[in-house]
Chains A and B, each alone.
Chain A
Amino acid sequence: MAIEVRIPTILRTYTGGEKAVSGDGGSLSALIDDLEANHPGIKERLIEGGDLRRFVNIYINDEDVRFLGGLEAELSDGDQVVVLPAVAGGSRYALA
Chain B
Amino acid sequence: MLTIDQATYDAIVAHAKRDHPVEACGMVAGPAGSDRAERFIEMVNAAGSPTFYEYDSTDLLELYKEMDDRDEEPVVVYHSHTATEAYPSVTDIKLASEPNAHYVLVSTREHGNNEGPVDFRSYRIVDGEVTEEEVSVVSTLTRSSS
Contact = CB atoms under 8 A, between A and B. Distances in A.
B6 interface: no
A60 to B, nearest CB: 11
Contacts of A85: 95, 97
Nearest to A65: B57
A87 B92 CA distance: 9
B95 A9 contact: no
Interface residues of B, number: 38
A57 B61 contact: yes
Q: Which residue of A55, A87, A95 has the most chain B CB atoms within 10 A of its CB atom?
A: A87
A96 B87 contact: yes
Contacts of B34: none
A interface, size bucket: 20 to 34
Given A93-B91, A94-B89, A86 B61 contact: no
Max chain B Cβ within 10 angstroms of own Cβ: one of A8, A10, A62: A10
Contacts of B84: 91, 94, 96
B99 A9 contact: yes
Contact of A89 (B57, B83, B85, B89): B89
A92 B95 CA distance: 12
A14 to B, nearest CB: 14
Contacts of B96: 89
A11 B38 CA distance: 25
A81 to B, nearest CB: 12
